[in-house]
Chain A
Amino acid sequence: MSSYHLDHLAYLETEAIHVLREVAAEFERPAVLFSGGKDSICILRLAEKAFRPSEIPMPFLNVETGHEFPELIEFRDRRAEELGAKLIVRTVDEAFEKGLATPTPGQVSRNQLQIPVLLGAIEEFQFDCCIGGARRDEEKARAKERFFSFRDAFGQWDPKNQRPEIWNLYNARLNPGENMRVFPLSNWTETDVWEYIKKEELEVPNIYFSHERECFHRAGQWLPVPPAHDANGKADPYEGARPSDQEEHRQMICRVRTIADMISTGMIESPAEDIDDIISEVAAARVTERGTRADDKASEAAMEDRKKAGYF
């Protein structure tokens, strides 16, 4: 590094730290959305860098569909505890019980149902800001997203009427009931995320690395076959997410490139055993990260439509 010049990761880091400190300074009740996925893992390290030696001045929030990878839940809980943070979990099942959400007939995926759960949690805890790990390079509707993304009292994003974001001067002003979503990794790419994980020696859930798993083929994706029983012995906890007799299934050497829940996450065949392997694999990849996300395949505007309704 030349003496007074930052390389690209150091630049992205200082930008994200600045954004996180703006959130801490400008909002009354912010929260960090922490799923245990690779992007939110970076957010937590950035939060340590922004706020240490103080505690991270905001709780972590996660919305569960009920179809999560068990490895991810275990990692999420452990990481939150290591950091001494308060972790709030709200689930789609609870939302059914409370009447906040209703199951969609014929729809196995609960991806859309995360929206009312998230909006419910924002209301319950009066969060005025939620920090997310979304990146603009993920998807073309997200490419139009701001660092500080305003949501009205219904949680809606209005892409045609966004606040101009000039220099590093973020307008954080809200009226009661309104909400901000803030994305410190806006300018990061998938490669940047993995390079940062490597540089910072961050632990990630083991499902990002190559392992053997039974998968089945549905709608162009290899989806993981979920376990037959959950931790409490309840049968078929991932109802409808198990392969039918007509669907091809086989053992695969595979990993996840991006994580939603088990119903929405396509596995990729991969021998990548460590971070360097993953970085090489991402560099050579010929499909985008979200190409393995069943939730994005609904239509060309699938992400735009969900974001307008209050999605992450």
Chain B
Amino acid sequence: MSDAQQTIELLRFNTCGSVDDGKSTLIGRLLYDSKSIMEDQMEALERSADITGGGQVNLANLTDGLRAEREQGITIDVAYRYVATPKRKFIVADTPGHVEYTRNMVTGASTANLSIVLVDARNGVIEQTRRHSYISALLGIPHIVFAVNKMDLVDWSEERFREIREGIEAFLPKLNLFKDVKFIPISALEGDNVVTFSDKTPWYEGPTLLGHIESVHIASDWNLNGLRFPVQWVNRPNNPTDPALHDFRGLSGQIAGGIVKVGQEVLALPSGQKSRIQEIWTYDGPLEEAFCPQSVTLRLEDDLDISRGDTIVGLDPLPGHSAELAGRVCWMNPRPLTAGKKYFLKHGTQTVQAMVTSLESRIDFETFEPEETAELAMNDIGEVRIRTAKPLTYDGYTANRLTGSFVLVEPGTNATVAAGMLHPPAQSYKPEYTDFSI
């Protein structure tokens, strides 16, 4: 790689807001002002403007990709968009704002580093604002931006902006999980403070929206504390590309947490056997160390019986290891969740049978307090207890988004019915022979 070539980071963000808060318009504006819209797309927009929009180009049509969406003027599913500036690349998850589409927001938020919550300056803080802030916190998104949109419709009032900001700051401490929070007054329709500074907000001293997402510090967003390596695929060539490798036995997977080094002592779970890392094999040659989220193939010094679904972990800190789990789920299916139902649970690279043994509560989005409930309906978020047929090797979701998350799949229909976030384990895995060494 030449010296002149600079490293470009990738930031993933999602946008959320109520219907008509201007999410699609904002993304359209970012695409348009960063010159990520092409002429043929613009022509298609202009054609549809002539036909349906009375000549007004609708930036929202850039992201609303399906026929039903254009016809009904809504966004019915998560759409992904790609924006590149000289400083960063962005993957944008455009998630709809309808109450009934919370599941889409959870989907878009699950992989995001940053969340942009749109607030209509005329309506101020509404239940949706609280819901979206809560979900962003719940999904462990480190950075959040409140974009107070349609400021042109409140005459760019500083007072109104402050009022909204204070309204949000009043409930944020209850969530208390973000690394940083920004408030930016914008007009997505006209582009003020989106890509270029507005001359209508002399009282605002912060960055533009693009300026902020281009510079926010994301290097430490992955978990580098405690090796977690869910074994994905056992790499055992019958007919190796290199004849010298006929005894090759490697464990392929993506590092889900921490750093792995050659010579490091590791534990294979669930068996509990110890070994050391002999080699970190990759197509591009062996590595001395590798880190989350790299995909590698590990060779151990000992030939242990390990298969897909097992986890190689570092000794400090040790993960939880249990078949009795507690966590929060977002319910995503029209058939509600009640206690006693059985599902397939996918966690890391392992799929096990699981039963929801109890439904403890549902979150009230007005108060963020749990309330008793007999069932979780679609788009509800609640506390559950789950028993699995085999123990999981896991961490609390707040410590590690990859080893602390799971999905539930309904047998028969194979529908993905829930996204789950595990509470921290009550106790860590206890090796049986702490003085055991090889």
* Co-assembled chains A and B: yes
**Which residues of chain A have a CB within 8 Å of any CB of chain B?**
1-2, 4-8, 10-15, 17-18, 21-22, 24-25, 48-55, 84, 136-137, 139-144, 159-160, 162-169, 171, 173-175, 186-187, 189, 191-192, 199, 285-288, 291, 300-301, 304
Complex contacts, A53 vs chain B, CB 8 Å: 235, 237, 240-242, 245, 248, 281
Cβ 8 A contact of B68, one of A11, A21, A160, A187: A160
Q: How far is the CB of A184 from chain B (nearest CB, A)?
A: 12
Q: Which 8 A-B pairs have the closest CB atoms?
A: A140-B65, A8-B10, A54-B237, A291-B40, A17-B295, A173-B414, A49-B283, A7-B7
Most buried by B among A10, A17, A189, A192: A17
Complex contacts, A4 vs chain B, CB 8 Å: 222, 224, 259, 291
Interface residue B120 (Cβ < 8 Å from any Cβ of A): no
Given A192-B89, A301-B66: 16 more A-B contacts, CB < 8 Å: A5-B219, A8-B9, A22-B232, A25-B308, A55-B239, A144-B78, A144-B79, A164-B106, A164-B107, A165-B416, A166-B106, A166-B110, A167-B110, A169-B407, A187-B82, A191-B84
Residue on B nearest A57 in the bound complex, by CB: B233
Interface residue B91 (Cβ < 8 Å from any Cβ of A): yes
Q: How far is the CB of B241 from chain A (nearest CB, A)?
A: 5
Contact B419 A164 (CB under 8 A): yes
Bound complex: CA of A144 vs CA of B283, how far in Å?
32
Provide 13 A-B residue pairs closer than 8 Å at the C-beta atoms, listed in order of the A residue.
A4-B224, A21-B233, A21-B253, A24-B233, A51-B235, A53-B248, A54-B240, A140-B65, A164-B416, A189-B82, A287-B39, A291-B39, A300-B48
Complex contacts, B89 vs chain A, CB 8 Å: 8, 189, 192
Interface residue B346 (Cβ < 8 Å from any Cβ of A): yes
Contact B293 A11 (CB under 8 A): yes
Residue on A nearest B241 in the bound complex, by CB: A53
Contact A167 B111 (CB under 8 A): yes
Q: How far is the CB of A123 from chain B (nearest CB, A)?
A: 20
Bound complex: CA of A192 vs CA of B415, how far in Å?
33
Contact B332 A301 (CB under 8 A): no
Complex contacts, A199 vs chain B, CB 8 Å: 1
Interface residue B76 (Cβ < 8 Å from any Cβ of A): yes
Bound complex: CA of A166 vs CA of B416, how far in Å?
9
Residue on B nearest A5 in the bound complex, by CB: B219
Q: How many A-B residue pairs have CB under 8 A?
A: 183
Bound complex: CA of A205 vs CA of B140, how far in Å?
44
Complex contacts, B104 vs chain A, CB 8 Å: 164
Q: How far is the CB of A222 from chain B (nearest CB, A)?
A: 15
Cβ 8 A contact of A137, one of B78, B82, B236, B344: B82
Complex contacts, B259 vs chain A, CB 8 Å: 4
Interface residue B282 (Cβ < 8 Å from any Cβ of A): yes
Bound complex: CA of A87 vs CA of B125, how far in Å?
58
Q: How far is the CB of A158 from chain B (nearest CB, A)?
A: 11
Bound complex: CA of A196 vs CA of B49, how far in Å?
37
Most buried by B among A5, A137, A141: A5
Q: How far is the CB of B158 from chain A (nearest CB, A)?
A: 37
Complex contacts, B38 vs chain A, CB 8 Å: 285-288, 291
| Also in contact, A167 and B106, with CB within 8 A (given A144-B77, A191-B84) | no
Contact A159 B238 (CB under 8 A): no
Pick the interface stretch among B266-274, B363-371, B398-406: B398-406
Bound complex: CA of A62 vs CA of B336, how far in Å?
43
Contact B236 A54 (CB under 8 A): yes
Q: How far is the CB of A145 from chain B (nearest CB, A)?
A: 9
Q: How far is the CB of A137 from chain B (nearest CB, A)?
A: 5
Interface size on B, residues (CB 8 A): 78
Cβ 8 A contact of A8, one of B8, B40, B110, B282: B8
Interface residue B349 (Cβ < 8 Å from any Cβ of A): yes
Cβ 8 A contact of B401, one of A2, A142, A144, A167: A167
Bound complex: CA of A13 vs CA of B296, how far in Å?
11
Residue on A nearest B106 in the bound complex, by CB: A166
Complex contacts, A49 vs chain B, CB 8 Å: 282-284, 295
Interface residue B23 (Cβ < 8 Å from any Cβ of A): no
Bound complex: CA of A136 vs CA of B89, how far in Å?
15
Complex contacts, A84 vs chain B, CB 8 Å: 241
| Also in contact, A173 and B224, with CB within 8 A (given A6-B294, A14-B294, A166-B106) | no
Contact B405 A166 (CB under 8 A): yes
Bound complex: CA of A12 vs CA of B64, how far in Å?
25
Interface residue B208 (Cβ < 8 Å from any Cβ of A): no
Bound complex: CA of A53 vs CA of B6, how far in Å?
32
Contact B252 A50 (CB under 8 A): yes
Contact A55 B232 (CB under 8 A): no
Complex contacts, B91 vs chain A, CB 8 Å: 187
Most buried by A among B41, B239, B252, B402: B252
Complex contacts, A139 vs chain B, CB 8 Å: 65
Cβ 8 A contact of A173, one of B48, B68, B401, B409: B409
Contact A55 B238 (CB under 8 A): yes
Residue on B nearest A12 in the bound complex, by CB: B10
Interface residue B63 (Cβ < 8 Å from any Cβ of A): yes
Cβ 8 A contact of B254, one of A2, A7, A14, A165: A14
Contact A21 B344 (CB under 8 A): no
Bound complex: CA of A112 vs CA of B348, how far in Å?
39
Interface residue B81 (Cβ < 8 Å from any Cβ of A): yes
Q: How far is the CB of A262 from chain B (nearest CB, A)?
A: 21
Bound complex: CA of A55 vs CA of B248, how far in Å?
13
Q: How far is the CB of A264 from chain B (nearest CB, A)?
A: 16
Contact B80 A143 (CB under 8 A): yes
Interface residue B362 (Cβ < 8 Å from any Cβ of A): no
Cβ 8 A contact of A1, one of B7, B70, B76: B7
Scan residues 321-367 of chain B and give those whose CB is less than 8 A from a CB of chain A: 332, 344, 346-347, 349
Bound complex: CA of A13 vs CA of B293, how far in Å?
10
Scan residues 155-202 of chain B and give those whose CB is less than 8 A from a CB of chain A: none
Q: How far is the CB of B197 from chain A (nearest CB, A)?
A: 26
Complex contacts, B401 vs chain A, CB 8 Å: 167
Q: How far is the CB of A79 from chain B (nearest CB, A)?
A: 15
Complex contacts, B80 vs chain A, CB 8 Å: 136, 143, 186-187
Cβ 8 A contact of B67, one of A48, A55, A304: A304
Bound complex: CA of A300 vs CA of B46, how far in Å?
12
Complex contacts, A18 vs chain B, CB 8 Å: 232, 254, 295
Interface residue B29 (Cβ < 8 Å from any Cβ of A): no
Contact B224 A11 (CB under 8 A): no
Bound complex: CA of A1 vs CA of B294, how far in Å?
14
Complex contacts, B426 vs chain A, CB 8 Å: none
Q: How far is the CB of A81 from chain B (nearest CB, A)?
A: 14
Contact A144 B240 (CB under 8 A): no
